[in-house]
Chains A and B, each alone.
Chain A
Amino acid sequence: MTDWQTDVSDGVAVIVCPARVSMAVAASFREAIAAAAVQAPKVVVDLGPTTFIDSSGLGALVSGLKTCRQAGGDLRIAAAGEQVRTVLKLTNLDRILRPHDSVEDARRDW
């Protein structure tokens, strides 16, 4: 079971992801985003530690994006590595989840 570290400050929740965001953790990832959105619907997903994401992890991101938007906020992703960026591009998800270079960058102007 992955513990999802979430920090809320200045109205923005930041969730730090593990090395692999895959099927084994997708359900708890989805729940972690929903729980964060209750505290602050502006959510930044920090993918800095993540070297691998699969389609179930991507599904959790899309679900989280919808949850945040329904709560009047949004979801941004930060510090995505090469595998994550490539997979986002191949699935066209880079159109709705534009990668920000860093958490600070994602929080800027929000």
Chain B
Amino acid sequence: MTGDHYEIDGLAVPDDMEQLHDLLEEASAQHPHVPAADVMMFETAVMELANNVVEHGRPVGQVAWHFRLEVAADSLTARLADSGEEYAGWDAAATHDMPGEMAESGRGLPLASAVLDELDYRREGTSNVWTMVRRWQA
């Protein structure tokens, strides 16, 4: 079954991240055609973007998000929209710069962009919208 979509809402706090894992697990179980390795890497990217919202979303603890996942025959697409203030830190080029080995932070977006075919940010009205796509050979 393809062309399915899933939607879920949460708050940008660490404890609400678990439901994103659970949703991806459920979607994967219902779509055995999606290669396990692709789900695994897509999940990695989704969690990094969600973490980024938790970490940088302002006002802290009051940002709500809406997550939509679309499962197609040859791709997974996620749209993560949050109600926070405009994200000033977005620099598409800089997302590719992996920090040095001894750094303790700064790997989230470079890791996400390394496993995605598309990663895009834009401000839509009062929301920050992150779009993530991973494709495979169907």
CB-CB nearest 3 A-B residue pairs: A55-B107, A24-B14, A55-B108
Tell me the smallest distance from the CB of A83 to a CB of chain B, in Å.
5
- Interface of chain B: mostly helix, strand, loop or mixed: helix
Contacts of B55 in A (CB 8 A): 23
Tell me the smallest distance from the CB of B78 to a CB of chain A, in Å.
15
Structural contact, A62 and B111, CB atoms closer than 8 A = no
Contacts of A95 in B (CB 8 A): 101
Contacts of A82 in B (CB 8 A): 37, 40
Chain B residue with minimal CB distance to A64? B104
Sample of 16 A–B contacts (CB below 8 Å): A22-B17, A23-B51, A23-B54, A24-B15, A52-B43, A52-B44, A55-B111, A56-B108, A58-B107, A63-B104, A82-B37, A87-B44, A91-B98, A91-B110, A95-B101, A96-B102
CA A95 – CA B103 in complex, angstroms? 13
